[in-house]
C-alpha cells in the first residue's frame, strides 16, 4: 500500500494500463459524483465489502479513494492483507480531487 498525492495519483493512474479506480464511499456520498470509470464498493458494508474485494483481479493495480483519504487507506490495508500487491491510496480523498467527477 502506498499513499499518493493528488498529482502523483493522477499521473500514475494515467500511465497505468492495469489500473482500476476503486471508490469505497457510501451510496449517499457517491450520489454527489464519482471519478470517471471507478468501481464503487462501500467499505462500510463489512463482510460484503471483503467478499467484493476478494472477487477483484489481484494482478491489477488499484487506485483507491474515499471522501478524505482515511477509509481508502483502511481499504488498501485490507486489500494488502488479502494478497493485493498494488493498492494506492489517494491522499485527501475526493475532497481535494481536482480532476473530473461524473454522475454515478
Q: How confident is the model at residue 104 (pLDDT cuts 50, 70, 90)?
A: confident
C-alpha cell recorded at residue 35: 471519478
- pLDDT per residue as tens digits for the range 3-25: 999 999 999 999 999 999 999 99
| 100 within domain boundaries | no
Residues with Cβ < 8 Å from 102, sequence gap 6 or more? 33, 34, 35, 36
68: CATH? 3.40.250.10
Q: What's the CA gap between 33 and 97, in Å, rounded?
A: 12
**Positions marked catalytic:** 66
| 30 within domain boundaries | yes
Average pLDDT for residues 78-99, to the nearest whole number? 95
| 102 within domain boundaries | no
Average pLDDT for residues 44-53, to the nearest whole number? 96
| 103 within domain boundaries | no
pTM score, whole prediction: 0.95
Q: How many domains does the chain have?
A: 1
| 41 within domain boundaries | yes
Biggest CA-to-CA distance, the chain: 32
Domain that holds residue 60: 2-95
Amino acid at each position: 500500500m502506498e499513499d499518493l498525492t493528488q498529482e502523483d495519483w493522477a499521473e500514475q493512474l494515467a500511465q497505468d494500463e492495469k489500473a482500476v479506480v476503486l471508490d469505497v464511499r457510501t451510496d449517499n456520498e457517491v450520489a454527489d459524483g464519482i471519478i470517471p470509470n471507478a468501481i464503487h464498493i462501500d467499505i462500510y458494508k463489512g463482510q460484503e465489502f471483503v467478499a467484493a474485494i476478494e472477487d477483484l483481479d489481484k494482478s491489477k493495480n488499484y487506485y483507491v479513494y474515499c471522501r478524505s483519504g482515511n477509509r481508502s487507506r483502511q481499504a488498501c490495508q485490507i486489500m494488502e492483507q488479502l494478497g493485493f500487491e498494488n493498492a494506492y491510496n489517494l491522499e485527501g480523498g475526493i475532497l481535494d480531487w481536482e480532476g473530473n467527477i461524473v454522475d454515478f
